[in-house]
Amino acid sequence: MFEVFDRMSHHYNRTSYEQLKDFIYRQQEKMFDKADEAREKIQTPEQLARYNDEMQQAFDQAIGGEIVTDVTLDPQTAHILDMGEYTIESILFRSRPHTYVTASLYIPKGITLPGPAVLFVCGHSSEGRMDEDYQRVCYTLVKAGMIVFAIDPLGQGERGNFYDSATKSYRINRTTSDHDACGIPAVAAGSYLQRYFLCDELRAVDYMLTRPEIDPKRIGVTGNSGGGTQTTAIMAVDKRIAAAAPGTYVTSRREYMYQGQAQDSEQIWQGVAEKGFDHVNPFLLFAPRPAAILAVKCDFFPIEGTRETFRTAQRFYEMLGCKENIRLYEDNYTHSYTPQLAVWAAEFFSEVFLGKKVTVDNSSFIPLPPEKMYATQTGNVGESIPDAQLTPEQIREYAAELRKKRLALPEAERKQRAQKWLENKVFHNRLPVELNPRVFPKSACTQVGGFMGTSVSFWTQQRLFAYGVIIKPEAWEQQTALPTVLAVWEDGTKAISAHEQWIRAQCEAGKQVFVLDVPGVGNIEQREMVFGASYKGAYGTLYTLACNLMFMGDSMAAMRCYDVLRAVEFLHTEFGIAEKDITLYCEGACGVYGVMAAFLNEKVGVEYGENLLESVEERYLGDSLFQYDNTLPVLVPGMLEYFDYYELKR
């Protein structure tokens, strides 16, 4: 019978289908403008140095803090392939305790040693360094006289985290699925996946410095896509790198935002937009060292942003007296490290390191089968090395350490600490506005079987409104200050009929029910943004918007907690309902918005329904395989240092 309430919406409300995206984009635009203005004010090298110090700190904070590791590398060479003009060593080294990195070292024959070297960091390919396109890049560089050290990122190549020895298959596919199964839970611990990637890469440079064949003053780095991300990350932190060529990644945050796509876990750098850190900043931190941007014109990393970043970086290189040290190469192709980009990269590094441009013909290159290049016996670190610890285990251990530390605190201190931190996250950078509520008259609402549903809406922030339906018996029409249960559950007003019996029981107990749609939920869902991805699924609309909020130093969970608090304010001010007569009903994973709101406003009551997300650590960092289920919008980045959700319950 209550199905009619599921479909309640009102055309006198503002059109809602773009409001959440528009709100987030508008706020990010302000951040982009502020960052542009800050860079435009820099007119001297001294000003640039001070600015770079701030951006260096912003980057360190964005990935969860400075990386420190002193474990011995303990390198091992599995075998050496003689390829005629060069050799390929299959190598294994440790980057962190129980963490092993698989790699290939290409050494050209006949060069003067010690010689120049390039660290090759891989993009999103299941085979990692053994991918055919990436083998071609390494071949091109080694033919140009470069020593090349190519490493597998975690979750790729021989470092897949979810290999099943019994079936000889991956329970979660390598590359992006693997990264997200590690990286999304890591968000809750505030130990972002980029830290793990970057640590491996810094240790790869450590290894390169142990090789007598490599000149420590002539080390470069390159990679495309995810490898382009990693190249810019290294550029931001490692002073040992003498030249860099990031590929098919460099654009601008503004242009990528309007591209409307999500990014992989290690590419989401918490708070960088708020701090003014954009794609150009690694180049400013890297200057005056030579850098080349490798781009393709038909990329989902928009070329418009690439060109803008190049022009901005060029101005600062010119300020430092070395405009010629920044270059842009564009191939007319789609997203990949194309053979032509490989040729240009080789020309760039040979000019910088050898003083002459070496052009390589890579058209006849024949790749090796992956098994020929294995650094492990089986092609998987976890299966081959008894003491290897995979990334999910490391993140679980870190989360467990956080739990032990916070639970060791006295309860009162722990609660006060959690409240202070959560208040900061929930109220940070909000745009307060009057509620300006709309409560539609009975003639504009719905009645069925003796019950009436009243459409309501109110503003939560500037140009962002929430919607809801208040359900009560028609006989109570004239009564407004009734005890009210504020329902916070999955799909909001679209799920009213699924809760019909529960709603009837509340009314029988003398309470009216207010079913809330926070922005992007229920009858005010955001219009689909991402082609080929479900609204609440991995890389879908809500995931993408949650990523944008993380770039802004915010989160969907914190913002929606604020929306629930505003709903309490709406009930109190519009209907005169005392806060003690308002009960938050929290159900399912999205019920955590109500859990947090009740923790911050202890005047309201709270009840807990079925399938409530009580422990992020158990559900998302446990031993079971991670499956994305609208997960990112229910996590507050870094929350596990201060609380898990069950600790907020009364």
CB 302 within 8 A of CB 266: no
pLDDT at 10: 64
Residue 479 reports pLDDT greater than 90:
no
Q: Residues of the chain with pLDDT > 70: what percent?
A: 99
Q: Is 645 helix (H, G, I), strand (E, B) or coil?
A: helix
Residue 65 reports pLDDT greater than 90:
no
What pLDDT digit, counting tens, does each position of 360-398 carry? 999 999 999 999 999 999 999 999 999 999 999 999 999
| Token reading at 520 | 């992007």
The predicted model gives 253-262 an average pLDDT of: 94
What pLDDT digit, counting tens, does each position of 566-623 carry? 999 999 999 999 999 999 999 999 999 999 999 999 999 999 999 999 999 999 998 8
pLDDT band at 528; cut points 50, 70, 90: very high
Residue 15 reports pLDDT greater than 70:
no
The full length of the chain comes to 650
The predicted model gives 303-316 an average pLDDT of: 98
HEC string for 423-434:
HHHHHCCCCCCC
d(CA 182, CA 180): 5
On the CB side of 600, CA atoms within 13 Å amount to: 23
pLDDT at 161: 96
Residue 14 reports pLDDT greater than 80:
no
HEC string for 609-642:
CCCCCCCHHHHHCCCCCCCCCCCHHHCCCCHHHC
Of 521, 503, 527, 504, whose CA–CA distance to 591 is shortest?
521
d(CA 136, CA 122): 12
Measuring CA to CA, how many Å separate 272 from each of 267, 398, 550? 11, 23, 8
What pLDDT digit, counting tens, does each position of 155-200 carry? 999 999 999 999 999 999 999 999 999 999 999 999 999 999 999 9
Question: Which residues are bridge partners to 214 per DSSP?
Answer: 115
Strands (DSSP E) contained in 237-312 are 243-247, 291-298
Taken in order 12, 15, 17, 22, is the CA torsion positive or negative?
Answer: negative
**CB neighbours of 272 closer than 8 A, spacing ≥ 6?**
58, 59, 62, 253, 278, 551
Alpha helices, H only, 519-615: 541-551, 556-575, 592-600
Residue 442 reports pLDDT greater than 90:
no
**What domains are there in the chain, each with its CATH number?**
61-399 (3.40.50.1820), 428-648 (3.40.50.1820)
Rounded (to 5) percent helix, strand, coil in the chain: 45, 20, 35
- The rounded Cα 344 to chain-centroid distance in angstroms is 31
Of 175, 173, 183, 119, whose CA–CA distance to 146 is shortest?
119
pLDDT band at 22; cut points 50, 70, 90: very high
Q: Residues of the chain with pLDDT > 90: what percent?
A: 93
pLDDT at 189: 96
| DSSP assignments along 205-221, one per residue | HHHHHH-TTEEEEEEEE
pLDDT at 372: 97
CB 368 within 8 A of CB 70: no
d(CA 234, CA 202): 8
HEC string for 581-595:
HEEEEECCHHHHHHH
| Token reading at 571 | 């009930």
pLDDT at 473: 95
User: What DSSP state is assigned to residue 467?
Assistant: E
Residue 12 reports pLDDT greater than 80:
no
Residue 146 reports pLDDT greater than 80:
yes
Long-range contact set of residues 397-401: C-beta below 8 Å, sequence gap at least 24: 398/189, 398/191, 399/185, 399/188, 399/189, 399/617, 399/621, 399/640, 400/617
Q: Give Rg (Cα) of the chain.
A: 27
- The rounded Cα 533 to chain-centroid distance in angstroms is 17
Residue 13 reports pLDDT greater than 80:
no
Give the angle 149-154-155 at the CA atoms, nearest 5°: 125
Start-to-end CA span in the chain (Å): 34
**CB neighbours of 35 closer than 8 A, spacing ≥ 6?**
273, 276, 277, 278
What pLDDT digit, counting tens, does each position of 225-246 carry? 999 999 999 999 999 999 999 9
Q: Across all residues in the chain, what is the average pLDDT? A: 96
Q: Is 160 helix (H, G, I), strand (E, B) or coil?
A: coil
pLDDT band at 424; cut points 50, 70, 90: very high
| Token reading at 458 | 């109110």
d(CA 23, CA 7): 25
